Structure 1
């Protein structure tokens, strides 16, 4: 059979050749139109796998997370707004208590303080890379910052444990394991995320913005502050929220330097525990289906909800940024 007969008319899918052999069917798929069909099958299959995996994870965590309230009878308000955490307390002593307020406050405090430090530094670095020194900034500084994203979390934690914790203990007092050590480590870890997104956003801005501002007599600083940064607001929102989401979900590095004390902190020098640290420390030591284990899954559900909220904020920020341009 000739190649022309296999391919069929131009623009039409290749007909299945007679004989029905595997080789003929294979050649038919590779003909004009067959490759498009094969590509659609592969991409659709990959998309379905991604959707199925996401839905399965969400449903599984949700079902396990709500077991604390549906099976064990714990009140939602008691769970979220109580700081008493004694899941293994015997009934003779009052029964188990599973309030996670201290863990939530620890996660929020460490993450917000980390972002409050990292976001201004990221804006400064991105502006320097794109506008102040674009040649060696993009050639040396940006790769150096992006290299930070490839460093394992345990390395950050070990550096904080070896250098930061002793420094805080000797010069500021306390044990050294503290909120301060946690958010300083986190601020370095989320820096590449915010810098990369904001740098790409500044690079994607039309040159007309800058040229028009300079033509009107604006200085370079006025152009950056009044024109470029407002135009890059969507990238700033996206980078900051994604950095905050990573800070919420970070576990190992933070766990190594915060002290893991289950109490509400009153100072940045106090030790604290986050949601991720509590899950990592206790999950392997609890029987599946117990109140303690279900409570840890409920903490995971809280983290998942925070992630969804972050995604919604990013999408809203990007859409608003696109509308204002």
Structure 2
């Protein structure tokens, strides 16, 4: 009798053990799958980084180009084996900073309008516009700048139309959706108690926005600006079509210049792999990679501030 009573109990125990074993196997497979994907991403990122570093450093280690002359030189003449990258470094930073100075107030202002001033109909009108701007390819931005913006600058401002001003305007429009979208998320994620407490002590809506909401959302707003700058710094095609691609430092906004990305895209297809000029272009890519890591470090710092 005792044996017959223990038999169903042992069967239930075996069933529970089998279920636990099956769930543990599924969990292990899931962990293995996720771990494999994560390892693959890390491996690819590490491989790309090491490859660019190895190719970029050959200019200085193998070809004997002086890093100081390379970074501070003003002349770029591949035929004479003279490579001064300062004009392109300056062009990249100039057009990126100028685009951020234009797009940041517009994007943050649009986000404040959508979330605080006209939350009901503001998002219904502006959200589709922002999504449309995100989906437009960069070549379209460049073509519009080439056919509309460049002639306008040439006819009404001066110069030949190509230059920093045209590149700044095109990049500003391109990074505007990024800054606006993240800024909207930053403003909507703020606790409602901040607004209610401010209104309760008699503050106006503008005082609440300026003194309470914007300071509270500043780390995320700065993250939006840095992400926009990261995209602007790495943009190539749209800027190449409107900036003029001169190998000199622009003395004004209407003068032509080049960026790191434009000089690489213009010349990479005309060089032989392993040649001096090809290695120099990889060195420019190395500068771009280092700046990408700098932007990532800044973003990590802003994220840590947001958590505090």
| TM-score of Structure 1 vs Structure 2, range by shorter chain | over 0.9
Separation in structure 1 between the aligned mates of residue 304 and residue 23 of structure 2, nearest angstrom: 39
Assess, with a 3 A threshold, how the Cα gap between structure 1 residues 11 and 197 changes in structure 2: closer, same or farther. Answer: farther
Unaligned runs of 5+ in 1: 15-30, 90-95
Q: Is the Cα contact below 8 Å between 1:13 and 1:32 reproduced in 2? A: yes
- Mapping 1:173-188, distance limit 5 Å: 173-188=158-173
Unaligned runs of 5+ in 2: 1-10
**Pick aligned residue for 2:262 from 277, 280, 286:** 277
TM superposition score normalised by structure 1:
0.89
Q: Is the Cα contact below 8 Å between 1:83 and 1:263 reproduced in 2? A: yes
DSSP 3-state at the match of 1:261: coil
**Pick aligned residue for 1:78 from 69, 79, 83:** 69
Find the counterpart in structure 2 of residue 117 from structure 1. Answer: 102
DSSP 3-state at the match of 2:242: coil
Q: Is the Cα contact below 8 Å between 1:10 and 1:32 reproduced in 2? A: no
Q: Is the Cα contact below 8 Å between 1:111 and 1:183 reproduced in 2? A: yes
**Pick aligned residue for 2:197 from 193, 203, 212:** 212
**Pick aligned residue for 1:66 from 57, 63, 75:** 57
Q: Is the Cα contact below 8 Å between 1:264 and 1:272 reproduced in 2? A: yes
For each residue in 1:181-222, what CA deviation from the matched residue of structure 2 results, as whole angstroms up to 9, or x when unmatched? 000000000001111111111111111111111111110000
In the TM superposition, structure 1's runs of 4+ consecutive aligned residues that sit over 2 Å from their partners are 7-14
Deviation at 1:11, TM superposition (A): 8.5
The number of equivalent residue pairs is 298
Deviation at 1:263, TM superposition (A): 0.5
Separation in structure 1 between the aligned mates of residue 257 and residue 116 of structure 2, nearest angstrom: 40
Larger RCO, structures 1/2 (Cα 8 Å, 6+ apart): 2
DSSP 3-state at the match of 2:79: coil
DSSP 3-state at the match of 2:154: helix
- Say yes or no: does 1:226 pair with 2:193: no
Q: Is the Cα contact below 8 Å between 1:88 and 1:292 reproduced in 2? A: no
**Pick aligned residue for 2:78 from 55, 73, 87:** 87
Find the counterpart in structure 2 of residue 9 from structure 1. Answer: 16
Deviation at 1:12, TM superposition (A): 6.4
- Mapping 1:1-325, distance limit 5 Å: 8-10=15-17, 13-14=20-21, 31-89=22-80, 96-323=81-308
TM superposition score normalised by structure 2:
0.94
Separation in structure 1 between the aligned mates of residue 298 and residue 125 of structure 2, nearest angstrom: 32
- Whichever structure has more helix as a proportion of its residues is 2
Q: Is the Cα contact below 8 Å between 1:231 and 1:321 reproduced in 2? A: no
DSSP 3-state at the match of 2:193: helix
Deviation at 1:146, TM superposition (A): 2.3
What is the root-mean-square deviation in Å for CA atoms of aligned residues? 1.6
Deviation at 1:236, TM superposition (A): 1.1
